[in-house]
Structure 1
Amino acid sequence: IFANYFGGLVLYADRNFKVGDWISSPDKAIEGQVEDIGWRATQIRTFDQKVCYVPNAVLSSIIVVNSSRMKNRCIKEMVGIRNTDAAVLDKITQEIRTMLHAHPGIDQRKLLLAHFTEFGPSSLKINIHAFTKTADRETYYNVQQDIFLKIIQIIEQNGAALAFPLILRVPEL
């Protein structure tokens, strides 16, 4: 009991999160919006709207990630094109980089990548990495969707296609 009260004091003193913040922990299965910070426990509402009560002694002794303090969100994706499209791979990556540099939703001051980085079993993989200008979740998903659709257009305009995993089925004899 005393550990929870002491944990509550630590939480109030450190101010690592406040009511309304979205927090998570890689140490424990905790993720959600902080609804109340009490003396004994902190009330968190999960994404699926369940309420969980986490003892303050636990919260004061684990790693807590405060997503509400993010300034940007990261778009990180690996896109594979067919092995037969190697001739246009460099052009595709250049056009993706140009599109990212021109996109109004991408923060140009942050890391921005679009490079061929890996050979897949049936694909040539392009690593795409960029940050949105905002951390707002809905805006992030809208920007990410727009970028993904533009990437598909770039690939198709160059006569290439997305690679699909090849599944070989051998009939039983």
Structure 2
Amino acid sequence: MFIIIIGRIICFILIISIINLFLNEIIYFISKKILNIKPSYKWGYIFFKNKVFNSISNFIPLFIGFLLNKLFFKNYEFIIICIEKILNILFVLISLQLIIRVINSVMKISTSENNHQTIAVHSFSQLLKIISIIFCILIIIAIITKNNLVSILTSLGAITAIVILVFKDTILGFVSGVQMASTKMIKVGDWIGIPKYNIEGTVVEINLISAKIENFDKTVTSIPTYDLISTAVTNFEVMRKKNIRRIKRSILFNIQSFNFYDAEGLKKFKDVFLIKNYILVKQKEIEIFNKEKKLNSNINLNGRKLTNIGLFRQYALEYLYKNSKISQSETLMIRHLEPTPYGLPVELYCFAKTSESIKYEQIQASVFDHLLTAAKEFDLEITQVVTGNGKEVF
């Protein structure tokens, strides 16, 4: 008797398995033929790659199993009940597999374009998977225990607080994803910086729990998704789209090298293209002012005079105006910062006509190479701080 039952069970399993294998091969062959004839079916191709059609075909041998169950084991009530439970559980698992594969396919289609909705779709799909898995587990428990699903859900009410605590990060991640998508704050592919974690790089993934950022040294940092809306995040994507990048750097000058220029001292700049016109205009303006005030211009503190630091500032400004790689439509200025014990910082504030790091650094280096060298022509000294070991550093 026992051997007969085992034999029937083996035959039952073999029949179901062969039917399933046969159907999968047919589905695969038909789907491939259709997609080869109509390659423009984007949805069909993604569903085919994610084996959605295979999951659908798995229901057919399952229904055949329900029909054959009583036929194979008509005199064995206990075995019929056990196999029905197993088939019901398989039905739930196949349904779960189908749901997950459909979600993956829809997510693939929805995120094929890199936009802000990617985050919401990704978060929602992961949340939907979690809910589906939990729901299927509850159904399986109901099948095994022969309890009503409603009564099982009611009994879970007592541990709702624990469930919320366990899935706290998931809930926060989902809310964050929806908020980022609706406000268009951050999307996959954006260049961002997070001062809290000292991170700067490109967002490569935002899911329900965490966000992955590829740093410029090619390492990957993972942070909780919720941190993208709860902490200060700098998004450089607008800068990249405008294709400009700010240059904000200062040169530290030795204040003791500052001096006035007289007419004789200004002669060496008469052929300097960038400031010769400025000098002519200023000299006339100063001369008129000093004559009106009847001031003795031989005394440096009397009247108005040009200084080497002021002339250099104007030269640097004209140099930036004439530089084709510096944006003229954005803020452009040369300004004094607050004097320090080491000297006077003169800051350049402008925007390079590129957001690419390599080109940007080349433009910035070129500008400062020229100005640091040009400062010598104005008898200006760049401050170098002497360290304890006797070495000089800027």
TM-score (norm 1): 0.84
1:47-106 CA-to-partner distances (Å, cap 9, x unmatched) read 222222222222232232111221332211221222332121111111111101111111
1:73 matched residue in structure 2: 245
Distance 1:168 1:46 in 2: 35
Alpha carbons of structure 1 residues 153 and 33: separation in structure 2 relative to 1, 3 Å: same
Separation in 1, partners of 2:226, 2:343: 49
In structure 2, do the counterparts of structure 1 residues 30 and 123 end up closer, same or farther at CA, with 3 Å as the change threshold?
closer
Q: Which runs of 5+ in 2 are unaligned?
A: 1-169, 260-307, 390-394
The answer to whether the Cα contact below 8 Å between 1:96 and 1:154 also exists between their aligned partners in 2 is: no
Confirm or deny that 1:40 pairs with 2:209: yes
> SS at the partner of 2:226?
helix
Counterpart of 2:317?
97
Distance 2:175 2:310 in 1: 58
Query: How many equivalent pairs are there?
Result: 169
Check conservation: 2:250, 2:346, Cα contact below 8 A: yes
Please give the root-mean-square deviation of Cα atoms over the aligned residues, in Å. Answer: 2.2
Question: Per-residue deviation at 1:122?
Answer: 4.2
Asked if 1:107 corresponds to 2:327, the answer is yes
Letter in 2 for 1:84: Q
In structure 2, the residue matched to 1:53 is: 222
Which whole-Å deviations, capped at 9, do the CAs of 1:93-131 have from their partners, x for residues lacking one?
Answer: 111111011111111122222234443324333222111
Residue 157 of structure 1: aligned partner: 377
Contact (CA 8 Å) 1:81, 1:124: kept in 2 or not?
A: yes
Point out the more displaced range, 59-68 or 85-94: 59-68
Distance in 1 of aligned mates of 2:189 and 2:177: 17
The answer (yes or no) to whether the contact 1:122–1:166 under 8 Å persists in 2 is no
Contact 1:74 1:129 in 2 (8 A): yes
> Residues 60 and 125 of structure 1: is their aligned pair in 2 closer, same or farther, counting only changes over 3 Å?
closer
Amino acid at match of 2:247: I
- Specify every segment of 5 or more residues in structure 1 that has no aligned partner in the other structure, as ranges: none
The equivalent of 2:352 in structure 1 is 132
After TM superposition, the score normalised by the length of structure 2 is 0.40
Amino acid at match of 2:361: Y
Question: How far apart, in 1, do the equivalents of 2:193 and 2:202 lie?
Answer: 9
Aligned twin of 2:176: 7
Distance 1:11 1:91, change over 3 A: same
Task: Give per-residue Cα distances to partners, 1:3-56, cap 9 Å, x unaligned.
Answer: 222222223333322222111223444432111122332221122222222222
CA change 1:115–1:10 in 2 (3 A) is closer
- Contact 2:173/2:207 (8 A) holds in 1: no
Asked whether the 8 Å contact 1:95–1:154 carries over to 2, the reply is no
What is residue 147 of structure 1 aligned with on the other side? 367
Q: CA deviation at 1:166?
A: 4.5
The 3 A distance-change label for structure 1 pair 102 and 4 is same
The more displaced of 69-78 and 89-98 is: 69-78
Identity %: 24
When Rg is computed on C-alpha atoms for both structures, the one with the higher figure is 2
Corresponding residue SS for 1:49 = coil
Alignment partner of 2:385: what SS? coil
Taking the aligned partners of 1:127 and 1:118, their CA distance within structure 2 comes to 10
- Comparing both structures, which one devotes a greater share of its residues to strand? 1
> Residues of 1 paired with 2:338 and 2:198: CA distance?
33
